[in-house]
Amino acid sequence: MASPMMSEVRGLHARAKVALDRKDHESAFTLYEELAKLGDLDGKCRLASLHRDVRGDFNAAVEWYRRAAEQGSAEAQCMLGYLYRLRYLSP
């Protein structure tokens, strides 16, 4: 049986995906931020991507990628490497 927290996380992800499909970026930001604050790795990576791709805020993107990478997210670690390669970050 899924815990209430897992059900909440799945529900937030579903709502965030619908928001993105509708190009409702502000709602997606809000939902992914809530997921990130719950410690969800995918939520942190999606939030970072939104900061990077929608707002062009690389500083916020790097912060969220770092948080996810520190928790072991391979996706976030890869994205940080990519940003280093593009020289958005320095070693």
CA torsion angle 10 44 78 18 (round to 10): 50
pLDDT in tens, 3-15: 668 889 999 999 9
pLDDT in tens, 25-53: 999 999 999 999 999 999 999 999 999 99
Residue 88, SS3 per DSSP: coil
Q: How many CB atoms lie within 10 A of CB 61?
A: 23
| Rg of the Cα atoms in the chain | 13
Nearest to 64 by CA among 90, 91, 41, 84: 41
DSSP state of 72: T
Euclidean distance between CA atoms 3 and 17, whole angstroms: 21
pLDDT in tens, 54-76: 999 989 999 999 999 999 999 99
